[in-house]
Structure 1
């Protein structure tokens, strides 16, 4: 017969599995500090030796990292998504920018559709809360704050799609976007008319999601990223025209 005796599971293995799932589901994020050993053992109802054994195993596997005098943190598991050489290529070629936007349009359109269908009521509350913060930040005219909330808004939609592979893949790509590898997002928020348009586009996405309109949510995301694509195309053309105009001015001034 194929049956085997059931063995009682070590407490440390249960701790490992629980923390693994929190990282896999994106609840614990790269760089996030875990509670103190005392607090964590109390929350999980395990002894400190069992907890230490679990944390040591997770560190050995590269999921957690210990910082002397600072505690235990979730490792930067996203950092391995792209090699340094590839990141340098992305940052130095315009082609990568537009391929990135096209990739986002496909992936985020799908994520928005899934979020409308499968997201829980709490998922949609998170999205709505971030959008409300975007509205509040809009009146402050702070491009850095608006850009940060923009990223949070899109990532909250991906989280609500409940696809862990998509979640970790897109988080790694958003990290590069935050660092300005693909384009400087604050440029998108500097023009008053553009800022207003972007806010209304995010409002349309949010309204569709709150109404669980899967097709409408996907269309709204795709329309938004088409707009971003066009804005960046226009900015590149404007920069090229300015460079030529500057050459003409320099030549006239030297005559």
Structure 2
């Protein structure tokens, strides 16, 4: 007969499953510190020895890491598929930059459509809260803070899409996303484009998500990233024109 005896599950196995789910779903993030052992054992309602067994197992599988005197953390390996050298290499080559923007357009458009359909009310409240911060920061004219919130806004949409493969894939690209947002804003601002344009684009994305309009959410994200791409192309053209103008000026001075 195909039946097997049922045995009680060890508490440590239940702890492992819960922590794995929190990591898988993106609730526990790379680099995040777990609560102290006593507090975590109380929250999970398990003994400290059971908790230690679970932590040791998760460390063995590479999901958690211990730092001497600092505690236990979610492993950074979950969020860093691209080395700093590769990020810098991408940034130096135009074809890679535009491929990256094209990839973001496709993936984030899909994520926005999924979020409009799949997000919980709490997910949408998170996105709204981030956008509210963007509006407040806009009045301060703090470019660095604006860029950080820009990244946070886009990641909140990806999290709200509730696709764990997409979530971790985009988290692994976090450095590319962060560097891309900073660079994109620098280029756009250098062209004297109104900062309000970017805020309005994010407002349109947020409004479509809050209305749970899948098509409009996707279209708003795609329009935003098309705009970024267009600004980058215009900047490249302006730089080439400036190079030619400098050559002409040098030639005239020699003459």
Return 82-91 or 11-20, whichever deviates more: 82-91
Q: Structure 1 residue 177: deviation in Å?
A: 2.7
Match of 1:195 in 2: 195
Whole-angstrom CA distance in 2 between matches of 1:140 and 1:161: 31
Q: Structure 1 residue 243: deviation in Å?
A: 2.8
Q: Structure 1 residue 159: deviation in Å?
A: 0.7
Q: Structure 1 residue 7: deviation in Å?
A: 1.0
Q: Structure 1 residue 250: deviation in Å?
A: 4.3
Match of 1:92 in 2: 92
Structure 2, unaligned stretches of length 5 or more? none
After superposition, the C-alpha distances for 1:138-194 in whole angstroms (9 at most, x for unaligned) are 1111111111111111111111110000011111213223245x8714415635634
Q: How does 1:201-240 map to 2 (within 5 A)?
A: 201-240=201-240
Q: Structure 1 residue 128: deviation in Å?
A: 0.5
Q: Structure 1 residue 24: deviation in Å?
A: 0.5
After superposition, the C-alpha distances for 1:119-141 in whole angstroms (9 at most, x for unaligned) are 11001100011000000111111
After superposition, the C-alpha distances for 1:7-61 in whole angstroms (9 at most, x for unaligned) are 1111111111111111110111111111111110110111111111111111111
Q: Structure 1 residue 241: deviation in Å?
A: 2.1
Q: How does 1:175-186 map to 2 (within 5 A)?
A: 175-179=175-179, 184-186=183-185
Provide the aligned length of Structure 1 versus Structure 2: 254
Give the TM-score taking structure 1 as reference length.
0.92
Structure 1 residues 59 and 178: alpha-carbon distance in aligned structure 2, compared to 1, 3 A threshold: same
Q: Structure 1 residue 244: deviation in Å?
A: 2.9
Q: How does 1:63-82 map to 2 (within 5 A)?
A: 63-79=63-79, 81-82=81-82
Structure 1 residues 134 and 80: alpha-carbon distance in aligned structure 2, compared to 1, 3 A threshold: closer
Whole-angstrom CA distance in 1 between matches of 2:208 and 2:167: 21
Given that 1:147 and 1:185 are in contact with CA atoms closer than 8 Å, whether structure 2 keeps it comes out as no
Q: How does 1:140-155 map to 2 (within 5 A)?
A: 140-155=140-155
Q: Structure 1 residue 99: deviation in Å?
A: 0.8
Whole-angstrom CA distance in 1 between matches of 2:83 and 2:143: 29
Q: CA RMSD of the aligned region, Å?
A: 2.0
After superposition, the C-alpha distances for 1:76-123 in whole angstroms (9 at most, x for unaligned) are 123552366644542331101111111111111111111111111001
Given that 2:79 and 2:174 are in contact with CA atoms closer than 8 Å, whether structure 1 keeps it comes out as no
Whole-angstrom CA distance in 2 between matches of 1:79 and 1:43: 26
Whole-angstrom CA distance in 1 between matches of 2:83 and 2:146: 29
Match of 1:110 in 2: 110
Return 72-81 or 135-144, whichever deviates more: 72-81
